[in-house]
Amino acid sequence: MKRLSLLLAAAATLMSSNAMAALAIGTKAPDFTTRGAQAGKTFTLTLSHQLKRGPVVLYFFPKAFTPGCSAEAREFAENIDKFKAAGATVIGMSADPVDDLVAFSTKECAGKFAVASAGPAIVTGYDVALKMRPGMTDRTSYVIAPSGRVAFVHSEMNYAEHVKSTLAAVQAMKGK
């Protein structure tokens, strides 16, 4: 029983220290170009081009078609009109191959926003490597201002608050 308690405590420490790994507010967000998909169609996505239209919610998720990641994508899709009303673009990012994201963009994202492949340079640049599962990203959501600076960060493996917190952040930016 004591050994189980120690293992659980160690796992909790790993998860919380992993969730702390994120770029600081005010940091210049690394620009990148990658392949993405929306509504089942692939395209090339460049962050700096997206920022010309307004703030970007760049949310990293561990793996397409897993329960938490699917639920998070559906919640972003259900709220996409609110994000657009606040002038924001939502982009999901995962280390999954683009072929997997093509189907995910249609089924779970309902074709309402883009999902893109986060290669090793992007994962490192945004400090989102899932330390307990190499080749996957942790669940971190960034709101990036049109200036390219990180305006808000929510890093937590539980998906429940990511949509609500990023929506509040972009709505607050619009109010300024």
Query: Which residues form the catalytic set?
Result: 69
Tokens representing 40 are 């089942």
- How many angstroms separate the CA atoms of 45 and 25, rounded? 23
Nearest 10 degrees: Cα torsion 64, 167, 155, 137:
20
- How many angstroms separate the CA atoms of 39 and 80, rounded? 14
- How many angstroms separate the CA atoms of 111 and 104, rounded? 9
Of the candidates 131, 44, 134, the one whose C-alpha atom is nearest the C-alpha of residue 91 is 44
- How many angstroms separate the CA atoms of 166 and 156, rounded? 13
